[in-house]
Amino acid sequence: MCWPFSAVSWCASQKGHTGCYNNAGSTCARLRAGRRYSPRGSSSPVQEAPTQNNVRSTVQALVTFTISDAYRFVYSISASDFDQVFQAACQNTLRAMVRQISSDEVNNLTRQDTSELRDALSNASEPYGVKMVKVNIIYAHPPVDFVRSQEARQLAMLQQAEQAEQQALLQRKQTDGETLARQAVIARVGRERDELQVQVQKAEIRRRVVELEAQAEELRLSKLQERLNSYPRAAEWEWAGEQLEVARGLASNTHAVVQMGGGSTDLAQAFSLRDSWQDQSVQANTDPTAPTRKTSSKSQQVHEK
């Protein structure tokens, strides 16, 4: 006895009978009496299965199964009916699986574990004496137009992100430039302020020096005024001595020209001052408390000339 399944080769022959493998209606091998079976694969394509976000995808699975109970397989269903039932069970199970995922996860179905899918198909085919061995999803892909639109959208998003990154980079450069310019202005203003403070300090120091010099000069003049008030004759004597020294220098210098402004009274006054100086020198020798006259450097300068 032979069963002409396109995806199943199974044979059970009794004594005195010859069995054969049948593939797509043609005999491919003959067997002697005995019970034999081998697993076969069946391809189950699913077209336009809607995903969770309503994107119709194409999924194709390769299901490998064996006939575990030949009696139920032969007498409970015909070959054509089993093909229809098997294809319907595979498509319903695959569509149910696709409805639970999004369109972005369709491409990952080929790497997904299919143990649950195999168990579901085994439960559907167990009444007919068939056991599922393995289920492989060999193709899973969304529509081409959808993939192109997704790629275009992703490309647009990448370009937009790149433009945003470039814009952020330009904005950051502009902000950094403004910050550097602001810091440069602040540094320049700080330097100018420091220089101005230094100038103000120098001016304050100069003003203070002038005040101190004025105070010193004022103190010196006040002391001098006190001395002049205390010793009026000493001041006159000092002045007369200075004039006498000048007159001596002019008298001893043959190249010096003396301009008399009012006749010969200046010269007479100079000699009278000399006599007065001599008298005062005598008094100074007799009176130790009287101030001594210092020799002026002007007479020395005149003699040097």
Q: What percent of the chain lies above the pLDDT cut of 70?
A: 67
pLDDT of 41 over the 70 cut: no
Paired sense of beta strands 56-67 and 26-31, if any: unpaired
pLDDT in tens, 208-239: 999 999 999 888 888 888 877 887 777 777 77
What number of CA atoms fall less than 13 Å from residue 86's CA on the CB side?
A: 30
The answer to pTM > 0.75 is no
3/5 Cα distance (integer angstroms): 6
Residue with tokens 């992100």: 161
Strands (DSSP E) contained in the chain are: 10-13, 19-23, 26-31, 34-37, 40-50, 56-67, 130-141
Res 206: pLDDT: 92
The CB density around residue 121, as the number of other CB atoms within 10 Å, is 25
Do residues 293 and 241 make contact, with C-beta atoms less than 8 angstroms apart? yes
Cβ density class 280-289: b for 16+ within 10 Å, e for less: beeeeeeeee
* Every domain of the chain and the residues it spans: 1-38, 40-142, 232-254+261-305
Res 25: pLDDT: 47
Fold of 40-142: Tetrahydropterin Synthase; Chain A (3.30.479)
